[in-house]
Structure 1
């Protein structure tokens, strides 16, 4: 749903749910006045619904996952104004990041905040009965799986606490569970969501059966469980209401929540935001961060020139591929065509991530922080390519894999392929990069397919597949959690 910020402010007491990990004891003491007890909450359907809004709301802070998922890869470089502009981005770009990195802290803190908010609902899931409650619980479990999947991709083993909230002191006693156990919880949550949700959501932007099946298939694919991945993903293809849409406006406002959307993170430009609390923004912060530096010209608004596509990423597209200039903006060619002007920032490549450039709109406050562009988290094209990969790598059905792959290629104005086996695998990987460039998936695709070391400068095998646990979390645990290898 497009989160209504005024409604969320009406339930500000839910802020306590965001504390999770990454907050000091003093901060916890300062916010006890917002605490909600089981006696004064979850007494009505509205209470559960408002709490669910709180879980959806934290999705907006996952913009940092998308930025860093590209910057860490071979698709883009960090950019910005200088070598010290958002130093955490610069470190991840160079693969020199350490456990002291504010932006990696944000990935940990904000995704655990999502887990914590979902667990608050699940802790009291049996308190009050009403018609339709199973769907709210299913959405809460989908969202917990979404945040947990992000965390396990980034950090590996995680602390788990079932259907109850983390409290201060848990970090000293609850261990980090093995990745296999983390995925088992993700699978259980998503299967519950599949069983209890419909393909059509009660409000635009809320989770559906299709979204749950797609994320379940993705979780299986990351574990190389190819048969169940293929089963889940082909169910989305065979039974869902999805289809490929017009790529020309897919990332414009007119393309939001269209027939290709399986799950989108909803943003709005209706309320301004500031740097003192980026996670408070109702707008897509990543969009302004990726904008053209000192830009003056048609269609776009200026921004901070982070996450710059490389020449190599632009060159992977053939001239016949319609995605080439709709995905990556050649700023010199654009300036020559339109008369636009701009400034070159740090690591200027001549290219920008056109999918998520800030467009001209009526957003409020700091235009760089309140862009209304939705993040297309799961697209039908991605589902087709994941299904193709599972069918091919699992040795299940190369014919069907080629059919799904060729649907994506046909839209891009490319000829169909007829190869099989490992040759088909390579084309699927290449197609994923082209189709999804700029959307935050590339680093994790390289890691899970074992290609990161050969593709990413500075990548160290056995270390950089995951990121360091923030130092403050290691310190809070007082030896209960070990740091990830190499950090």
Structure 2
């Protein structure tokens, strides 16, 4: 994937803020190709699509922030000044100058620009398979805009074209509702033109498009539409819950029946600390892992994104998902005896817990600096998430179908253990049960902050959260300045 980006797609990498590919990869000028003379063969379109997929690998920021901003985890790390932006988000003191938020903003727009480049040139050539390429590109644009709107609210909306430097200053932030309308349009097109399955590992499918569409509806409180869309995935899709939750997040389990949308990684060398967008591996795994670790099963890492005791205590007694989601390091040390387990504590904080879904394991190490080269995939949408979103949509729609909601909820609970008691509640009690289930089932997967925000619970659950402000993050001040478009900063920042 990176080899193509170095050679053929130089012009695609420019983002809304005139970021060039030079910011992220080393360009080999002798292989560069004039963007206006590209798309001369079907393979050019497929390579451009690969370039559009490439920005998915920056999803580690989405996961980190979705956990750290909530009550699920603390920032951790070497010190409070190491990735200072994460600590600011953890403490709800973040503002417009924040490296992590700026990176997320830039990465998502770089991905959008690569998609728009494809659509800008969609009529240059007719060939079999072009509709599939455009459908996948539509999904990717929807995904990138969904990340932007859920983080920042109103954002500039650019579709089917790249911007010249002179055009940037005329781009306004449009209401979030308009961004969601484009997301819905793109996902409907993708769903209409993609199959339920694909022979190419890592490519998106009809199920991924419909699931993200159902999620977008849920984030807008369009419960009827969300329920109808997610019901289709459940009834017609090829998905089922994995029978072995304990291995669900291992490399050997990738592509199982529960996989709706994964971001693919490989454990080969690529990139470095100065270029996280260049990496072939999932950087979150190395950064989550146990600092200074010596012992069996695991490998050492950087102790970021550490689960809280509050999350640990949310699990019901004997819920078998707890040890899968959270590693209690002191309990593990005791159980490892007589083997000695050693670790160190970073100055950025310590809870005694680690995100066990995404930890480095000795039998899953990537090449060279394995902090950066984990082959573990990022599970973005699992079938369990689809079931729980559908349960919530049915429960919260104007004419609730609590029986269907409870059926979906209990399907998730009872796949992990027949001893998990069924939920027989209705109304708001059922809503609370669904919220609980989402928190424990999806613990460590980066969705909890946004669940709290969209359901109005954040102000009661997150220390320092200010209603009317922290529902969205600030637009990076450097992007406001670079655009010169008179954007008004989000309220309170």
Match of 1:315 in 2: 313
Match of 1:352 in 2: 354
Provide the C-alpha distance between the structure 1 equivalents of 2:183 and 2:34, rounded to a whole number of angstroms: 27
Matches within 5 A, 1:122-141: 122-141=119-138
Matched, 1:261 2:267: no
Q: How many matched pairs?
A: 481
Write out per-residue CA displacement over residues 228-271 of structure 1, whole angstroms, 9 at most, x where no aligned residue.
10011010000000000020100111111111000000011112
Match of 1:427 in 2: 433
Matches within 5 A, 1:241-260: 241-245=238-242, 246-260=244-258
Match of 1:81 in 2: 78
3-state SS, counterpart of residue 276 of structure 1: coil
3-state SS, counterpart of residue 127 of structure 1: coil
3-state SS, counterpart of residue 118 of structure 2: helix
Q: CA deviation at 1:179?
A: 0.5
Q: CA deviation at 1:299?
A: 1.5
Matched, 1:417 2:423: yes
3-state SS, counterpart of residue 263 of structure 1: strand
Matches within 5 A, 1:79-478: 79-245=76-242, 246-338=244-336, 339-345=340-346, 346-360=348-362, 361-394=364-397, 395-413=399-417, 414-478=420-484
Q: CA deviation at 1:16?
A: 3.2
Match of 1:45 in 2: 42
Q: CA deviation at 1:362?
A: 4.4
Provide the C-alpha distance between the structure 2 equivalents of 1:229 and 1:450, rounded to a whole number of angstroms: 18
Q: CA deviation at 1:24?
A: 6.3
Query: Cα RMSD between the aligned structures?
Result: 1.9
Write out per-residue CA displacement over residues 135-193 of structure 1, whole angstroms, 9 at most, x where no aligned residue.
10000000000010000000111111221123323331011111110000000000000
Cα distance change of structure 1 residues 15 and 298 upon mapping to structure 2, 3 Å threshold: farther
2:7–2:28 contact (8 Å) kept in structure 1: no
Write out per-residue CA displacement over residues 17-40 of structure 1, whole angstroms, 9 at most, x where no aligned residue.
222134569979x98968755642
Cα distance change of structure 1 residues 348 and 41 upon mapping to structure 2, 3 Å threshold: same
Show structure 1 runs of 5+ residues with no match.
none
Q: CA deviation at 1:426?
A: 0.5
2:2–2:278 contact (8 Å) kept in structure 1: no
Provide the C-alpha distance between the structure 2 equivalents of 1:340 and 1:273, rounded to a whole number of angstroms: 31
1:16–1:31 contact (8 Å) kept in structure 2: no
Provide the C-alpha distance between the structure 1 equivalents of 2:18 and 2:354, rounded to a whole number of angstroms: 35
Normalising by structure 2, we get a TM-score of 0.94
Provide the C-alpha distance between the structure 2 equivalents of 1:208 and 1:446, rounded to a whole number of angstroms: 28
Write out per-residue CA displacement over residues 302-334 of structure 1, whole angstroms, 9 at most, x where no aligned residue.
110000000110011122211011100000011
3-state SS, counterpart of residue 352 of structure 1: strand
3-state SS, counterpart of residue 126 of structure 1: coil
3-state SS, counterpart of residue 388 of structure 1: helix
Cα distance change of structure 1 residues 474 and 27 upon mapping to structure 2, 3 Å threshold: farther
Normalising by structure 1, we get a TM-score of 0.95
1:247–1:323 contact (8 Å) kept in structure 2: yes
Provide the C-alpha distance between the structure 2 equivalents of 1:26 and 1:277, rounded to a whole number of angstroms: 11
Show structure 2 runs of 5+ residues with no match.
none
3-state SS, counterpart of residue 63 of structure 1: helix
Cα distance change of structure 1 residues 417 and 215 upon mapping to structure 2, 3 Å threshold: same
Provide the C-alpha distance between the structure 2 equivalents of 1:451 and 1:461, rounded to a whole number of angstroms: 10
2:293–2:342 contact (8 Å) kept in structure 1: yes
Provide the C-alpha distance between the structure 2 equivalents of 1:370 and 1:12, rounded to a whole number of angstroms: 23
Provide the C-alpha distance between the structure 1 equivalents of 2:232 and 2:22, rounded to a whole number of angstroms: 46
Cα distance change of structure 1 residues 39 and 21 upon mapping to structure 2, 3 Å threshold: closer
Provide the C-alpha distance between the structure 1 equivalents of 2:486 and 2:78, rounded to a whole number of angstroms: 40
Write out per-residue CA displacement over residues 71-118 of structure 1, whole angstroms, 9 at most, x where no aligned residue.
111000010111111101111100111111111111101111111111
2:64–2:305 contact (8 Å) kept in structure 1: yes
1:122–1:137 contact (8 Å) kept in structure 2: yes
Provide the C-alpha distance between the structure 1 equivalents of 2:331 and 2:365, rounded to a whole number of angstroms: 27
Match of 1:19 in 2: 14
2:11–2:35 contact (8 Å) kept in structure 1: no
Provide the C-alpha distance between the structure 2 equivalents of 1:80 and 1:225, rounded to a whole number of angstroms: 39
Provide the C-alpha distance between the structure 2 equivalents of 1:27 and 1:194, rounded to a whole number of angstroms: 34
2:365–2:375 contact (8 Å) kept in structure 1: no
Provide the C-alpha distance between the structure 2 equivalents of 1:145 and 1:278, rounded to a whole number of angstroms: 23
